[in-house]
Structure 1
């Protein structure tokens, strides 16, 4: 599916609003989302059936030319076959007409995308983790979502209602004036709408083509800022003019941890569901689960609000923003810091800065993952060989600079913006080799502890499991340093 290209001077933005549907409208919403899941499962079973049929025929010695043809998984092909079978297939014949055609198109589009991801991943053309074969979605675990691209999609002039195909007019929990004002002025156009159930309530997200306002440019387009993320301070922002700002970590999850523990203990004492035995949850369990989830939802909303305010303030002020390429997935394997790192939202901060700088016409610079921002002196450029995590004050051995560790890292990141664009040779520039203060290489040397374990073996050779443990320890130390930098 081709990606939509906005017109010149426009950007594609999503605006989300909470809904307050009545009982009938909520039933229709769930029906549309269930129809999307059913169409997805049909597409997966229809395509995969030909794969298993070919495999069975090949086991009997049938030639390649006589095997069952491959079934296509493109969206037009799936939609054509689905329209032919929906009136006769017992899975859809009795109720397919109750929902909009966009609900079934949503499931078919998701299935086509899943097969494309699987094919490109298997060929080695997709980054990230290996994508497995598409599987059917469970009725109990699948997320409720449905997308509308055609039909009546509008925001009502009263700014408290939205109209969607086959669902009618639904009241919104919050005012839609931010979008309705732009539509009335002709500076916005709705492309699609997606309804989704998450965090205990229904939301509608409008994909909108919005004209970029002239005043959305950064307030200081010639100033670069380095953003150093951490746990103690969520962000330390240092700009190229010498100003430094510390943003404390709100730690929303830690603030609600005592309440969550109490509610979880109460939930554990009540009779919950058991799919193995068919046991239904008690009413008291449902009430306790709802109350606990409400706390989780509030924490998630507070975190999202704080991160958006932080990233919007940064991109609205600075023309260039430097962020680090942190291995967040690796840092989450550290059991001592996983909860605090997940609560901070490092990856979300970088993602929001990246697309918001595009809106303001700015630039996002990503520092190399191994750039020693914490161990490099921001005054003279000297690099320390070691800087343990418990040392929170950076003391330079060359120029006697004494500075906060996080502030020093943020200043180095701010200086990196000019280095990348002008090529000054500072560590982290494209084509400039990174320093190796520890004289590190790819050889695994035996430590004193391992030599004792080997009984003084010649050359101090280590056993395979010892080498693996040493490698894991080194990686964990490096990832933890990046987390607390």
Structure 2
């Protein structure tokens, strides 16, 4: 209700928020939230919830109970939710976290790295490493079709339909967990082993509009990679640099800087007509992203004007140099305004 009233009076910016609708069990995300009362960890494997008492949990909470006992954390709320027949409790906690200012050389042995996210590979690093794309949705499509067909053929309101709905929900949750596990392992490794991580400002919402690539793009979780890197770089003391959306990383030679504007997404190898370099397209883009960090410290320091976020429509200002930005911002566009 507060979001609705603030949106009507103009206090809340952005898209207008409508009047809240009542949620029906089974038709929305089943969840409820505690902000008052006695709630929190009761022991290492138990939580205490108002009107429910002590409830056993599967995951150990030693880290949370230790912080609460030491006084370095404070509970702000608890949300109980159900996903695919499993109940979860998530605590909103305010903690005092030590941010490393001068990470040791052992922790940051990798230096700067460029990360090119794609569909064929989950990510290609400027070091030459290719992270395989697990494709959890693609590998489970056959079972997903079978479960969906069985659910559609069941009688509405029957016990068999409820069983098939539960089986379908379990399969969807398993796919989401597989995707999330792979992304967390990748982003944690990058933020722990590299000083600077350079990624592209991808327009994922526009990419999924292509019906031939929508499923493959959604199966990789490109936007989730950047979201996790944004807060994990703060945790581990590294730095995230976001290249401009219009920086032609794939069309520029990483050896001499020659640009091939006619390069298409079907061309998987970049062949430079100036220096003769032949290199994988994704690896070439990752190297260009890594080199952009060194170039931005000197070349874009005195760049001219138009240092604003790219407009949703109209022509892009050209009086600026290819630049970079911190996480959550957009850097300068390239002079030619070409997409990578």
TM-score tier by shorter-chain length is 0.7 to 0.9
1:118-129 matches, cutoff 5 A? 119-120=9-10, 125-126=13-14
Query: Which residue number in structure 2 is paired with residue 145 of structure 1?
Result: 31
Q: Give 1:308's match in structure 2, choosing from 181, 184, 187.
A: 184
Choose from 256, 271, 294 the match for 2:155. 271
Q: Would you say how many aligned residue pairs link Structure 1 and Structure 2?
A: 312
Within 2, Cα distance between the matches of 1:284 and 1:437?
Answer: 56
Is the CA contact 1:221–1:362 (under 8 Å) kept in the aligned structure 2?
no
**Does residue 1:381 correspond to 2:257, yes or no?**
yes
Corresponding residue SS for 1:220: coil
Q: Taking structure 1 as reference, are residues 133 and 221 closer, same or farther at Cα in structure 2, changes over 3 Å only?
A: farther
State the match for 1:169 in structure 2: 54
1:318 to 1:199, Cα distance in 2 relative to 1, 3 A: farther
Asked whether 1:395 is paired with 2:268, we answer no
Further displaced range: 339-348 or 429-438: 429-438
Mapped contact 1:225–1:237 kept (Cα < 8 A): yes
Corresponding residue number in structure 2 for 1:180: 65
Work out whether 1:324 is the aligned partner of 2:200: yes
Query: Which residue among 95, 119, 123 is the counterpart of 1:231?
Result: 119
Q: Does 1:116 align with 2:6?
A: yes
Structure 2: 5+ residue stretches without partners: 304-320, 326-330
Q: Deviations over 1:110-145 (max 9, x none)?
A: x21243245549x9x42xxx3343242342533233
Change (3 A) 1:249 1:433: closer
Q: In the alignment, which of 244, 251, 255 is matched to residue 139 of structure 2?
A: 255
Residue 253 of structure 2 aligns to a residue in which SS?
coil
The Cα shift of 1:184 comes to 3.8
Query: Rg bigger for which structure?
Result: 1
SS in 2 for 1:378: coil
Over the aligned positions, Cα root-mean-square deviation in angstroms equals 2.6
Q: In the superposition, relative to structure 1, how do residues 202 and 244 fare at CA in structure 2: closer, same or farther (>3 Å)?
A: same
Matching residue of 1:423: 299
Deviation at 1:337, TM superposition (A): 0.9
> Which of 429, 434, 442 is equivalent to 2:334?
434
1:84-119 Cα deviation digits (max 9, x unpaired): xxxxxxxxxxxxxxxxxxxxxxxxxxx212432455
The equivalences for 1:79-228 within 5 A come to: 111-117=1-7, 119-120=9-10, 125-126=13-14, 130-140=15-25, 141-157=27-43, 159-213=44-98, 217=103, 219-220=107-108, 223-228=111-116
Aligned partner of 1:371 among 236, 247, 256:
247
1:265 is paired with a residue of what secondary structure? helix
Q: Which protein is richer in helix relative to its size? A: 1
Counterpart contact for 2:196–2:241, Cα < 8 Å: yes
Q: Structure 1, residues 416-442: CA drift from partner, whole Å, max 9, x if none? A: 22333333577335886613288xxxx
- TM-score normalised according to structure 1 size: 0.59
| Partner SS state of residue 156, structure 1 | strand
Change (3 A) 1:368 1:198: same
Query: Are residues 311 and 118 of structure 1, via their aligned partners in 2, closer, same or farther at CA, if it must alter by over 3 Å?
Result: farther
- Please tell me whether the aligned partners of residues 242 and 324 of structure 2 are also in contact (alpha carbons under 8 angstroms): no
State the alpha-carbon separation in 2 of the partners of residues 118 and 356 from structure 1.
36
Contact 2:246 2:333 in 1 (8 A): no
Show CA shifts across 1:162-213 (max 9, x none).
1123332111122222322333444433332222223332111112233334
Tell me if structure 1 keeps the 8 A contact 2:121–2:132: yes
**CA 1:416–1:199 in structure 2 vs 1: closer, same or farther (change >3 Å)?**
farther
Judging changes above 3 Å, is the alpha-carbon distance between structure 1 residues 421 and 209 closer, same or farther for their aligned structure 2 residues?
Answer: farther
Partner Cα distance (1:237, 1:333) in 2:
27
Q: Secondary structure at the match of 1:397?
A: coil
Judging changes above 3 Å, is the alpha-carbon distance between structure 1 residues 386 and 198 closer, same or farther for their aligned structure 2 residues?
same
Q: Secondary structure at the match of 1:244?
A: coil
Consecutive unaligned residues of structure 1, counting only runs of 5 or more, are 1-110, 273-280, 439-477
Please say if residues 383 and 437 of structure 1, whose CA atoms lie closer than 8 Å, have aligned partners that are also in contact: no
Secondary structure, aligned partner of 2:125: strand
CA distance in 1, matches of 2:185, 2:324: 30
